[in-house]
Structure formats: C-alpha cells, structure tokens
Structure 1
Amino acid sequence: MSDPKLWMLHIQGPDDIVAAPSKEQADRVAEAFNAFHGEYANKRRAEIAASGGDPDNWPNVTAVVVEWAGGPSEHAESVTNYWPDYAAYFAPSDGNCPA
C-alpha cells in the first residue's frame, strides 16, 4: 500500500513553500491567490506606467500546487504554522484578501 500524497503551494517569485491540508484546498487557494495577485500586479503596473516608469520591473508572483517533497511530520508542522495565512486568500474573514 502506498502512502497518500502530500501537497503544498509553491509561491513562485519569492520562492516560498507552504504545505496544504489537501490537493483540493491547495487548488482553491492557488486560484484565489493568483487572481488576487494578478489583479494587484496589473494595478501596480498601470500606476508605474502612468508615472513614467517601466511596468515590466514589477515582479510576477504565482502560486502552483505541487507534491510535498519532505516528510509527513514536516508537512504537518507547515500546515499548522503557515496554512491559515494562505487559506485567508480563499475565505477571508472581512471579504478582502490579504495584501
């Protein structure tokens, strides 16, 4: 019998990783995270261009779901310590995603 797969979000740009409780939750949070940060990046790039700057200098930040590369205990610790911050992108308490 094989072990169940463990999942994480890889935040490309700053290169952060955070374990997710399930692939389904990771997929939902990645979608919400990418929508929020895509909209924010477009806004910032427009502001930069309007002020005469180069909007291409604003970084891309995206979340992708990948299989966890570590062990189960490290995964559980990451879920406990960090997942609530990322879950807020999917179900923010005040109706606004974190900035």
Structure 2
Amino acid sequence: MPCIFKKTVEAVIATGSDLLVQLKGNHPKLRAAVRAVCQTQPHAEQTYTVDLGRRHRIEQRVARVWSLPEGTGPEPWHAPFKTVVEVRRRVEEFNPRRRCFELR
C-alpha cells in the first residue's frame, strides 16, 4: 500500500496539482515528523463550527492548520508537503429513551 500512496503523490506533483491526503499509521516516519512539528509550533489558524439539530445531533468540529517547513518528512517524496490540517469532531446524538444527548 505505501508504494501506491507514493506513486499517487509523485504523479500529482508531476502535473503541478494540489493533493489532500489523509495521514494514517502505516507511514510511521512521516507521521512522527509531522507530529513533532505540530507539537513544537503553534497552529497558524483555527476554526470552530457547530451544527445544531440536524438529524437530532449536535456536531462540533475544530479544524487547525500548521505550515510545514521544507523537508519535514524523512524521505524525498515528503518534501512537497506544505500544510497540515487537523480536524477533530465531536457528535452528540439525541437518545429518545433517556431524553438526552449522548456522545456517539
């Protein structure tokens, strides 16, 4: 699977396009490098949104953005990565039996 990810990133970069990728645990070196940057730098931007009452839910989202310095990742194909976006979501759903909202 990592080879497919690497080839996809290289193909997008070759066309001059932008790409949004989800960073998971199967890239431990890159994940550790990105995590180190996010823990040592303050985030550049933060957004908070709430959706109330849609489908009997309260959904809260916090999105934070960091700029990555050049060469953050340990491998050459990590060099084009420029930004980290973290999205955290909290959903409370209405339980009609208990007549209250509960974390989902």
Tell me, yes or no, whether TM beats 0.5: no
TM norm structure 1: 0.25
Q: Relative contact order (alpha carbons < 8 A, sep ≥ 6): 1 or 2 greater?
A: 1
Q: Which has the higher strand share?
A: 2
TM norm structure 2: 0.25
Q: Which has the higher helix share?
A: 1
State the structure with more CA Rg.
Answer: 2
